Structures are given as structure tokens and as C-alpha cells.
Amino acid sequence: MTRNSYYITTPIYYPSDNLHIGHAYCTTVADSLARFHRTKGEDVFFLTGSDEHGLKIQRKAKEKGVTPIEYVDKIIANFKFLWKQLNISNNDFIRTSEERHHKVVQDTLQKIYDKGDIYKKNYEGLYCVPCESYWLERQLDENGCCPDCHRPVEKMQEESYFFKMSKYEEWWMSFIEENPDFIQPASRRNEMINFVKQGLEDLCITRTTFDWGVPVPFDSKHVVYVWFDALLNYLTGIKYGSDDAMFNKFWPASLHLVGKEIVRFHTIIWPIMLHAMGVEMPEKVYGHGWLVVDGDKMSKSKGNVIDPLALIDEFGADAIRYFLLREINLGSDGNFSRDALITRTNADLANDLGNLLHRTVSMIEKYHKGVVNDAGVSEAVDDELKTLAAATVENFIKDMDGMEINTAIKGVWAFISRANKYIDETAPWVLAKNPEKAARLETVMYNLAESLRIIAILVSPFIPSASPKIYTQLGLAVPEQFLLAEAKWGGLANGTKVAKGDPLYPRIEIAEDGSTIIGGKKYEPKVSAPAPAQEEPKFAMEPIKEEITFDVFEKMDLRVGKVIAAEKVKKSKKLLKLQVEIGPEVRTIVSGISQYYEPEAMIGKNVIVVANLAPAKLMGIESFGMLLAASDGQGNLVLADAPNMPSGARVK
Ligand code: MSP
């Protein structure tokens, strides 16, 4: 029996200060698959989230003088904001720091411990902090560094609990043999088999060297190893142990989509954990390739980290999504280039799709006062269009089911091109001049509008904001869910009245200095600068101002505000324009902090606002309030903040 539910997950992301386009890639792919399964009428649960524990986070928080949860809260707010901007339709966002997850981890550990699959021993090993992994001497790379990330390892000694992975080696081999589709693509399956053939070691699953993690229920000195903790998010997200109806509906997971470097954790450790727990296996783990920038791996020091928020601001979420999905072959590494993004957007979105809609709707308005009416005067070329429409839908389903996303997109665009060609072949402007061809013209217009209706459904997993716009211009009510069942020829009713709107995608023009002009707005290319060298600040204190009375001070109304949007003020080096939520209201505040804070880093940040300051105009923008910040007069500035306080709270 085929199931009508679909459960898809992305990896849960490490809270990183630098959100980059690579982060957006995996989530965009998962989103397109989730949306596709919804168009099939399936009940979809799409989970993403954050992997927040571990020594690395604990150290970073300490460096910044905040608690680990304060440190991660801000970053997670940025992640959530990015997913919203990118139109990601996740059903839940799981954070491993949440109570609901701690419970699942602790219950699981206890269960496996009670079964006798966990034991304690003294352990000395070489530990890679960024990867949170122990390595044996023989596993290190040629420089004696971590074989995964090639950074130095540290010698660590601790008493640890171990999970008896080795006990399940034979079970794993037979499971993989019996389920050839479990690991995909096939090349990654072979890699994993070769890895396990070298012998499975028991896995060290607890740590005592830090405490930012889930406490081990049977030994409170220990916290759970991050991977053991993190993988269980896939069960927590669908209420394992707390809501059987929900869990049984969505488990086993239909697909864990992960990057190629973490296939090993998902296809060896994870199935063995589940098997030890007596939980059914997920259906599939797919290891996608990596995104590189202009042929080079992204890194902060190279300054080639592409910020997805800036990119969305400039080109829109659809263009980014479309580029990632169309340009990259899911199983292989793919290249991101700004030039290629611009070329793709102009060619496929602005020209092919945008023009088809624009031409069609304009002609229906011009020739038929906007009303669609199939007069039934068909010619051979119509049959060709209709046959291709049906074949496109069929191939689309086959390709998407097979996770051939870019092939599916190519198929849809071949149909879009065919429809554009149909306009040239039928030459409606010639038909319009001949009264005897009036009925034929009506049929031609119907066929074009009907093609666009089907196209709107097919593109909805990839460029979700386009489909409602196409429907609206076609005069159709936007459904809550676009359904493939409705992508059958003839669904458009006669009498439908189209309504021309703005172009779907404005053309991107490129100025001589390399900046872009989109819809009349100019954008400088935004790539993050290489990490600057740190300099010792020299501080000279300013004299304290003359005394004021408490009454005077009390007139100042200071409030906690939460930044919900931020952008650089055009032509200003210093100013950021912020939207700040203060209790129920949202205000525009212009602040001279642009040299110190990137707009993206401001999102979700709590700030202190002088809330009753008279409005002032800065670079033509009215600013309603001011942010408090500490400055040493030597080029350093830090905003005052109030983490974990509700916006609107009074500061005294
Ligand atoms: N926290 C673990 C996953 C735990 S899942 C139980 C982790 N996090 S991560 O933030 O480092 O990576 C999350 C995902 O982002 C991975 O699938 C990784 O492959 C993906 N990407 C990060 N950078 C990437 C590119 N440049 N390109 C494509 N995806 C990459 O691993």
C-alpha cells in the first residue's frame, strides 16, 4: 500500500555566525521536494532545525561573554528569518536545546543503556573540536590533523560511555544489502560499505569536558555526544514518545536529505541507533553535493562567502531558489556564480515565463476584453501543445519522484518554450485582423491561458511566489494548495476574466561598475570582505557631562526593541535603516552603526531604544527613536542590548 504521508528532513544546522548560500542550498532542495509532495495531495511534514550543543558553542559563547543559550538564540533568529525570506515551508523548526528534545534523548539513552548496549570505559583520544569527533592516530590526515576538516586535533582524556556499534556490524551489512535504495546516490552507498568493511568501532557517546548538552540520565557528570543527540531530532520533530498518532503517521521518514560529508552519520550511526531502539528504518538518505563559489570552496578568510539574505534582497527568493535547483545536479557539487544567476534569471524567469504570461494576458485583454472563451476551433498545432502538456506533467512527476529536480525543471521549461513558440506559430495579431478567424483566435487564447494554468501548478515547488501571481493574472482564485490532480488540460472555465499585473520578474540590467539595476533600483555586488586583522583598541575617556536631576532623567523613556528588518541606507556609509518592534508597534529607526553591524546580524537582535525622542530626518528617512550603544571614540562600537527580554519592556 502506498502511504499518503511524506516526512522529509534537512540536517539540523550548527549555529554559525555566517549564514551562507550553502546553508540555503540543502533547505531549498528539501523545500522543493516537500512542496512537490504537497502538490501530489500528500500529507507532508517537513522538518528543519538547529544543532546547538557541544564544546565549540560553549567556547564561542564564553569568548563573547554570554551564556550558550544567549549566544545561540540570536543566531537561530537569523536562521529562522532566512528561511522565511527564502519561502521555506517547513512545518516545524526543532532546536536541540528545547525541553521536548532533551526528553527524547534522555529516554532513548536510558532505553539503550537498559538493554545493555551502552558501557563505560576510560578513554584517551584525539579530538577535533569543530567536528566534535574522536579520531585514532591512524585515521588522521598526512599533517596529523582531522581527516574530515583538516584542522588540528587535541589530545583528550575522559571517562566515557560507549555505544556498542560493533555488535551491529553484520546486521548493518545485511540491511544495506536488502535495501539497495536506502543510501543514495549509489556512489555514496559504495563508500559507506567500504567504510564499514574496515570494521566498526564502538562509538563514544558522552563527554565530561563540557556541560552544554543533554545530561546523561544515569550519570549526571556526563553530557550526550552531539551526533547522538542531534540525530534524534528526527524523532523529536514528529513527537516520538509523546504523540503516537503523529509519530505513526510520519515515521518511517521518507527522506533524510543531507550534505555528502554527513552521509556517514546518517547511514551508519543513525540506522544502528534506531535498530538498537527497536525503531523502524527511514526509507532513504540522500547525500547531495556541495555548493562552491566561482569554483572555490566558500570561506570567511577568502572573503567569498555569499550572504543569502543580501542575495534575496537583491534578486528575490524565487531567483535564488530557481538558480540552485535548476543549475545544480543534486548528487554532484555545483557552482554558484553571480553572473550565472543573473543570466538564468533573465533568460528563464523574466523572458521565458514572464513574457509568456505578459503576452498572453495582454492579448486576451486586447482582443477579448480579458475574457477567455474556447470556441473549439482547433488545429494540429493545438494537439501538439496539449500532448506536450500531458507528457510534461507525467515526466515532471517521474523526475521529481526520482529526485531529478533539475531534469524536472528542464521539462517544464521546454513546455514554456513550446507555448511561446505557439504564439509565434499561430500569430494571434494576424488572426485578429481577420473577422473570419475570430473563433480561432479565441481558441488560441484559451490554449495559452490553459498552458499557463498548468505551468503555474508545475512551477509551484520551485518558485512558489510565482504561481499565485500567475493564477491571479489568469483571473483564478489562488488555492490553498496547488494540486497536480488539477494539471489536466481543460480545467480553465470559459468566461474566466484575466487581469494584467506587474511583470512576474523584472529584467536585471548590469551597470558598468558591475552593480545591478533591478526594477529601477541599483544594487552593489555584496560579497563579504575577508576577515580583518584584529587591532588593540586605544581608549581615551571623554569627560562626563554636567549633572542632571532625576526628574530630567526620568523624562527619557527607554525600551527594549526587537529588530525585525534591517538594510543599509543607500549612498550612506554610516546608516542602517531598521524596523524595530516595540511592544505592539513597529518603528523605523535610522542608526549610525553600519560600519559595525551587518544588516543581517541585526535581525532578531534586542536593542535599547530611546523611545520618546522627537522624530528626525536622516538622509531623507524619518527616524522614530535612537539606539543606545557604547563607543570608545577609536572606531569601536557595541550596541546595548537586553537578551531574552520582551520587546516593549522598560529599561530603567
Ligand atoms: N549539525 C550537523 C548536522 C546534524 S543532522 C542530525 C551539521 N551541520 S552544518 O551546519 O555543518 O551543516 C548542515 C548542512 O549544510 C549539511 O548538510 C551540509 O552539507 C550543508 N552545507 C553546509 N555548507 C554547504 C555548502 N557549501 N554546500 C552545500 N551544502 C553545505 O553538519
- pLDDT tens by residue, 265-275: 999 999 999 99
Mutate to test the pocket of ligand 1, among 19, 260, 290, 330 (most ligand atoms within 8 A of CB): 290
- Residue 48 to residue 257: CA distance in whole angstroms: 10
Say yes or no: CB of residue 11 within 6 Å of ligand 1: yes
Q: Tell me the three cell numbers of residue 564.
A: 525585525
Q: Which atom of ligand 1 is nearest to the CA of 231?
A: 6
Cβ–ligand 1 distance for 51 under 6 Å, the answer yes
The response to whether residue 25 sits with its C-beta less than 6 Å from ligand 1 reads: yes
Establish whether residue 29 lines the binding site of ligand 1, counting it when its CB lies within 6 angstroms of any ligand atom: no
535, pLDDT greater than 60: no
Spatial CB neighbours of 268, under 8 Å, sequence gap ≥ 6: 165, 172, 192, 195, 196, 200
Secondary structure (DSSP) of 448-483 = HHHHHHHHHHHHTTTSTTHHHHHHHHTT-PPPSS--
Q: Is 231 in the pocket of ligand 1 (CB under 6 A)?
A: yes
Q: Determine whether the shortest distance from the Cβ of 486 to ligand 1 is under 6 A.
A: no
The proportion of the chain whose per-residue pLDDT surpasses 70, expressed as a percent, equals: 96
Q: Which of 515, 645, 490 is nearest to 583 (CA)?
A: 645
- Name the pLDDT band for 533 (thresholds 50, 70, 90): very low
- Give the residue, out of 14, 104, 336, with the most ligand 1 atoms within 8 A of its beta carbon, to mutate for a pocket test: 14
Q: Is the model's pLDDT at 154 over the cut of 70? A: yes
Residue range 75-122, pLDDT digits in tens: 999 999 999 999 999 999 999 999 999 999 999 999 999 999 999 998
Express each pLDDT in 493-521 by its tens digit.
Answer: 999 999 999 999 999 998 887 789 888 88
Q: Is the CB of 13 under 6 A from ligand 1?
A: yes
Distances 71 to 52, 220, 280 between C-alpha atoms, Å: 10, 24, 36
Q: Is the minimum distance from the CB of 132 to ligand 1 under 6 angstroms?
A: no
Q: Which atom number of ligand 1 is nearest to the Cα of residue 11?
A: 5
12 lines ligand 1 (CB under 6 A): yes
CA distance 56 to 59: 5
| Tens of pLDDT, residues 261-301 | 999 999 999 999 999 999 999 999 999 999 988 777 777 77
Tell whether ligand 1 has an atom less than 6 A from the beta carbon of residue 230.
yes
Chain length of the chain:
652
Q: Given strand 118-128, what is the order of strands in its sheet? A: 133-135, 118-128, 154-163, 203-204
Ligand 1 pocket, 258 CB below 6 A?
Answer: yes
Mean pLDDT of 110-136: 89
**How far apart are the CA of 261 and the centre of ligand 1, in A?**
8
Per mean pLDDT, which range of 269-278, 430-439, 460-469, 501-510 is the poorest?
501-510
Cα–Cα distance between 205 and 225 in angstroms, integer? 5
In angstroms, what CA-CA distances link 245 with 239, 248, 253? 9, 5, 15
- Ligand 1 within 6 A of CB of 312: no
Per-residue pLDDT at 540: 65
Q: Is the CB of 14 under 6 A from ligand 1?
A: yes
If you search the block for the grid coordinates 536631576, which residue do you land on? 549
Q: Determine the atom of ligand 1 nearest the C-alpha atom of 258.
A: 17
Ligand 1 midpoint to CA 274 (Å): 22
322 vs 140, higher pLDDT? 322
Between 134-143, 271-280, 311-320, 503-512, the lowest mean confidence (pLDDT) is in 134-143
Lowest-pLDDT range of 58-62, 355-359, 535-539, 571-575: 535-539
Q: Is any ligand 1 atom within 6 A of the Cβ of residue 282?
A: no
523 has pLDDT over 60 = yes
Contact 336 CB / ligand 1 (< 6 Å): no
CB-CB contact of 257 with 228 (8 Å): no
Q: Is a pLDDT exceeding 70 seen at residue 399? A: yes
Query: Which residue out of 10, 18, 20, 23 has the highest number of ligand 1 atoms within 8 Å of its CB and is therefore the one to mutate?
Result: 23
307 touches ligand 1 (CB under 6 Å): no
Neighbours of 538 (CB within 10 A): 10
13, 57, 101, 327, best to mutate for ligand 1 pocket (most atoms within 8 Å of CB)? 13
Give the pLDDT band of residue 539 (cuts 50, 70, 90): low
CA atoms within 13 A on the CB side of 177: 8
Does the Cβ of 22 fall within 6 Å of ligand 1? yes
What pLDDT does 302 receive?
A: 72
How much distance in Å is there from the Cα of 179 to the middle of ligand 1? 25
Report the first-to-last Cα separation within the chain, whole angstroms: 64
Q: Residue 424 corresponds to which amino acid?
A: D
User: Structure pTM?
Assistant: 0.80
Which atom of ligand 1 is found nearest the CA of 291? 27
Q: Residue 618's pLDDT is what?
A: 82
* pLDDT of the residue at 39: 98
C-alpha cell at 468: 499565485
> Is 290 near ligand 1, meaning CB less than 6 Å away?
yes
Q: Is 26 in the pocket of ligand 1 (CB under 6 A)?
A: yes
Helical pair 308-315 and 68-85, crossing angle rounded to 10 deg: 20
Tell me which of 78, 258, 285 to substitute to probe ligand 1's pocket, judged by most ligand atoms within 8 Å of the beta carbon. Answer: 258
pLDDT in tens, 579-637: 999 988 889 999 988 878 888 878 888 999 999 998 888 888 889 999 999 887 666 78
Rounded to the nearest integer, the mean pLDDT of the chain is: 92
Query: Does residue 537 carry a pLDDT above 50?
Result: no
